[in-house]
Structure 1
Amino acid sequence: MVLAASLVRRGAAAFPDRTAVLVGDDSLTYAEVDARANLIAHHLRGHGVGKGTHVALLVGNGLHSVPMEFASIKAGLVRVPLNARLSLDEHADMLAGSHATVVVADAALSPRAAELVERVPGLRAFSLDDLVAPVAEAVAEPEVALCEDDPTLLLYTSGTTGKLKAVVHTQGTYGAICTNILANVLDPQPDSVMLHAASLIHASGTFVLPYWVRGAASAILPGFEPASFVAAIAKHRATEINLVPTMFAMLHSTGVLEGADLSSLRKVIYGASPMPRPVLERSIEVFGPILTQYYGQTEAPLCIAVLDEHAHADPSLWSACGRPATDVEIRLLDEDGAPVGPGEIGEISLRAPFQMQGYFEADGLNAASLSDDGWLRTRDLARFDERGYLHLVDRTSDMIVTGGYNVYPREAEDALASHPAVAECAVVGAPDATWVEAVTAFVALRDGASASEAELVEHVRARIATHKAPKTVQFVEAIPKSAVGKILRRALREPLWEQAR
């Protein structure tokens, strides 16, 4: 395996004068990014923060996001990114669970860092601005002996369970994430520019290193706002963008794409959650035949399977998440761990160089998730079609058992989403004395649109089996989602079961 630190050094040596990072009207060359990364490592080392230290990062998207990441990788630190949207209690729990002893914060998040210092015994806080402050003497490259099994990232994920757990990626697995992306999704050229609007601590950040090793640039926005995002495509002549489905829906609903200059775009990438068919149809119409979907998990980023732009030309494949990536083995297993037959539904189990080392200090969870010979259970249910495309069905934890039949929420959600009045929806199982679980839908309507419960139920029944249709429909303002745009079915399901107790 190639080490992540080796890839950082390789890009810095190969392209010192090229532009690496663009933020608004500011930019950094490869040499400047590398020099600032060395400065950060130098300052932290002066405070006794070296290889193996767990360092929490309260760093939003900005000019020094990439230097901070590269400093951590080269110095052998174990970075623990904290999502700024989480509460103080959640941040404190993450620090305790990860054994982080240091927090680095940018200016906007320094108040939260101060709160955490008060809350967490022994925690030290450092300002990112101070860590990039120049020093009189020349700052050398961090001289740290690293190997492929050295942890480099503890990334918290709740998945759909609501229970926070930290995924451990190493120098080797993080390097393999880079090569996985280059082999399966992207082929950046020296003139390529990826526009980042999603937080770099999640999937969007995994694209930075592949662009770095190819001499390409990362244009970084502080967050996603439709009008400024579209303006930035033209400003930076972005060649690739990476979005989640909710972002596409916002772009279309706000009308900012009308008359927009999208001529620089070569590829539009999406993932993180299922794309509603109407949103996909509109996106292909607006952006053209350049869409690519990836399926992955925090435990195995970024690409377990890929539906490329050629597959998007066939509408019958729009429900697929793609063909397996070239560097992954996949098998579908039944509840007893035996392979399922052709076309049958099973849990995805995989083995790949980019999969996590394991969950941090979670022996029981690791035993349930990782086999002795290296296979990872994903808890995702899927089937292969006759052409070898993988079709996700649902999470094992989200499956509804009603009247003895298995119902996969996504089937009902796809049928509901095809109704013109539906903006977004989620389907869960509610306790029921007769059926054990009753299929229950939550629906947010489009602005100005109307639909009755009976109308939506009939719409679904006309498209899928009757037992899969909702027994009831509850209308809501919005569907709850995670920080990366995934529908949180548990947030809808749990109150229904609490009420029944």
Structure 2
Amino acid sequence: MVMAATHIRRGALAHADRTAVYFGDDTLTFREVNDRANLIAHRLIEAGIAKGTHVALLVNNGLHSLPVDFAAIKSGVVRVPLNARLSLDEHAAMLEGSKATVVVADSTLADRAAELATRIPELRVFRVGTSDPADLLSPSSDPIGEPDVALSPDDPTLMLYTSGTTGKLKAVVHTQASYGAICSNILGNLLNPQPDSVMLHAASLIHASGTFVLPYWIRGGASAILPGFEPTGFVDAISRYRVTETNLVPTMFAMLLNTGVLNGADLSSMRKVIYGASPMPAPVLERSIEAFGPILAQYYGQTESPLVIASLDEFAHADRTLWGACGMPANDVDLKLIDEDGHEVPQGEIGEITLKAPFQMAGYFDADELNAETITADGWLRTRDLARFDDRGYLFLVDRTSDMIISGGYNVYPREVEDALASHPAVAECAVVGAPDDTWVEAVTAFVVRKPGVDVTEADLIAHVRSQIAAHKAPKSVMFIDAIPKSAVGKILRRALREPLWNK
């Protein structure tokens, strides 16, 4: 099984003088990225940061993103990426929960690192890309080779926090082998980058977008990195860097379409547009295919098993009946749907997705009880996602087990109701949860964001849903709000809508 560090070393040797990174007006070759990664790794080792140390990364998308990440992999430390959008309290909780004793921060987040050092006096802080003489990238007069660290496939290399839809933070641990397998999984099921390929990264590299770096790296493709997603800057970058692929979440598509920036944009270099993280409303998908062409492909995965559990390629998108599907299971995944007793369900029935794959996590950090609930004795990972197979073998995601609403004794899956609501021309976004009810136990409750300048009533929307799906699944009430709460990767945070209803 090929380790992540091996992929980095091979890519650097094979494509040394090609451009690996674009960021604004700056570029780095494969050799330059690798040399910087080696320098950072050596500086950490010289400072006594041993293999296995938990090192938090406070690094925004930028020129130093790849060198810092690669340095951590090469030096054998366990990197703990911290989302820059989170609060000081949240960052401190992550440091405590992960037992990280070191923080590496870039210039944009140096102040936050200093705040954390004040909060946690024993924390060691290192900086990268700053004017500090002790900066990890300060020039060296000596040639810097590969760090002399003995790595093995089972060595932890990444601890990535995820809250899923529960709101409780969990640290997912990946090893050198599982992170390397993510690269092979993407190449085998989703993308086929060439030496002239350029992947545009507008989403944070600490999430799904970052998993695309290594597949492009070993094939000689480049990463064009944006500080964040902004519609005009995103479209300008496509033509500027001759972008061939990008990865978006559904909310980004909606922003691109609603701002009109795609009208007349030069998209001629684009070969494929990947989307995932949350369901794509059919109206948004239809308009996106019209804008980009028939080059959209979807993946279904989760932090515990990134990136591709199932995929729906651009050719399958030509069949509109498959637009609600996750796709076909990946070719390196064993997958089955089980009932509450752990038995595999018959074809066509709903069950929980369980899987075995070389890219699945080693487990949650410091969480024996949760690991026992999530990973079966014989190694199957329970995803907590409910799905069914159609008669062609396509996987259709139904919902999270935790999101299912039991109303009047019937199971109601929020996504089905949301799809019906989203088909109404006045609905911009929506989310469905269960509210306490004396009669129904849980009442289907919808939160809706209306499109600007379009009026619609609660009764209109309830009647529309009833015309689409069974009456007992229709909302008992509709609440109009300004925005649907979402996680940092664009997933609907139903708990933020549900909890106030239950805590009255």
After TM superposition, the score normalised by the length of structure 2 is 0.99
2: CA distance, partners of 1:33 / 1:121? 32
Structure 2 match to 1:190: 195
Structure 2 match to 1:386: 391
Structure 1 match to 2:9: 9
Structure 1 match to 2:496: 491
Mapped pair 1:21 → 2:21:
yes
Deviation at 1:50, TM superposition (A): 2.5
Deviation at 1:121, TM superposition (A): 3.5
Deviation at 1:23, TM superposition (A): 0.3
SS in 1 for 2:116: helix
Pairing 1:249-398 to 2, within 5 Å after superposition: 249-398=254-403
Letter in structure 2 aligned against 1:62: G
Deviation at 1:42, TM superposition (A): 1.3
2: CA distance, partners of 1:49 / 1:378? 35
Pairing 1:242-253 to 2, within 5 Å after superposition: 242-253=247-258
Mapped pair 1:152 → 2:157:
yes
SS in 1 for 2:161: strand
Letter in structure 2 aligned against 1:52: G
Structure 1 match to 2:224: 219
More displaced, 136-145 or 351-360? Answer: 136-145
Structure 2 match to 1:31: 31
SS in 1 for 2:495: helix
Deviation at 1:317, TM superposition (A): 0.3
2: CA distance, partners of 1:187 / 1:491? 38
Deviation at 1:371, TM superposition (A): 1.0
Structure 2 match to 1:128: 128
Instruction: Summarize deviations over 1:171-219 as a string: whole Å, max 9, x none.
Output: 0000000000000000100000000000000000000000000011000
Structure 2 match to 1:61: 61
Instruction: Summarize deviations over 1:381-400 as a string: whole Å, max 9, x none.
Output: 00000000000000000000
**Which portions of structure 1, spanning 4 or more consecutive aligned residues, are displaced by more than 6 angstroms?**
none
SS in 2 for 1:462: helix
2: CA distance, partners of 1:306 / 1:231? 28
2: CA distance, partners of 1:121 / 1:445? 48
1: CA distance, partners of 2:422 / 2:393? 26
Structure 2 match to 1:72: 72
SS in 2 for 1:398: coil
Mapped pair 1:106 → 2:111:
no
Structure 2 match to 1:238: 243
Deviation at 1:85, TM superposition (A): 0.6
Letter in structure 2 aligned against 1:154: M
Structure 2 match to 1:406: 411
Letter in structure 2 aligned against 1:77: V
Deviation at 1:47, TM superposition (A): 1.1
Letter in structure 2 aligned against 1:40: I
SS in 2 for 1:68: helix
Structure 1 match to 2:84: 84
Deviation at 1:295, TM superposition (A): 0.1
Letter in structure 2 aligned against 1:109: L
Counterpart selection for 1:205 from 198, 206, 210? 210
Letter in structure 1 aligned against 2:126: F
Mapped pair 1:457 → 2:462:
yes
Structure 1 match to 2:485: 480
Deviation at 1:473, TM superposition (A): 0.2
2: CA distance, partners of 1:132 / 1:293? 38
1: CA distance, partners of 2:426 / 2:104? 46
After TM superposition, the score normalised by the length of structure 1 is 0.99
2: CA distance, partners of 1:169 / 1:41? 19
Deviation at 1:404, TM superposition (A): 0.3
Structure 1 match to 2:132: none
1: CA distance, partners of 2:275 / 2:172? 22
More displaced, 121-130 or 322-331? Answer: 121-130
Counterpart selection for 1:229 from 224, 234, 239? 234
2: CA distance, partners of 1:428 / 1:161? 13
1: CA distance, partners of 2:430 / 2:218? 40
Instruction: Summarize deviations over 1:146-194 as a string: whole Å, max 9, x none.
Output: 1111000000000000000000000000000000000000010000000
Letter in structure 2 aligned against 1:55: V
Deviation at 1:418, TM superposition (A): 0.4
Counterpart selection for 2:167 from 162, 165, 174? 162
Letter in structure 1 aligned against 2:125: A
Structure 2 match to 1:118: 118
Mapped pair 1:139 → 2:144:
yes
Pairing 1:422-437 to 2, within 5 Å after superposition: 422-437=427-442
Equivalenced residue count is 499
Letter in structure 2 aligned against 1:56: A
Letter in structure 1 aligned against 2:207: H
1: CA distance, partners of 2:141 / 2:26? 24
Question: Is there any run of 5+ residues in structure 2 with no aligned partner, and where?
Answer: 130-134
Instruction: Summarize deviations over 1:17-74 as a string: whole Å, max 9, x none.
Output: 0000000110000000000001101111121113111110000000010000111111
1: CA distance, partners of 2:217 / 2:193? 9
2: CA distance, partners of 1:93 / 1:268? 36
Deviation at 1:460, TM superposition (A): 0.3
2: CA distance, partners of 1:35 / 1:133? 12
1: CA distance, partners of 2:334 / 2:464? 39
Deviation at 1:140, TM superposition (A): 1.8
Instruction: Summarize deviations over 1:419-458 as a string: whole Å, max 9, x none.
Output: 1110000000000000000000000011111100000000
1: CA distance, partners of 2:455 / 2:199? 39
Letter in structure 2 aligned against 1:272: A
Deviation at 1:86, TM superposition (A): 0.6
Deviation at 1:313, TM superposition (A): 0.4
SS in 1 for 2:79: strand
Deviation at 1:110, TM superposition (A): 0.7
Counterpart selection for 1:181 from 177, 186, 189? 186
2: CA distance, partners of 1:60 / 1:79? 14
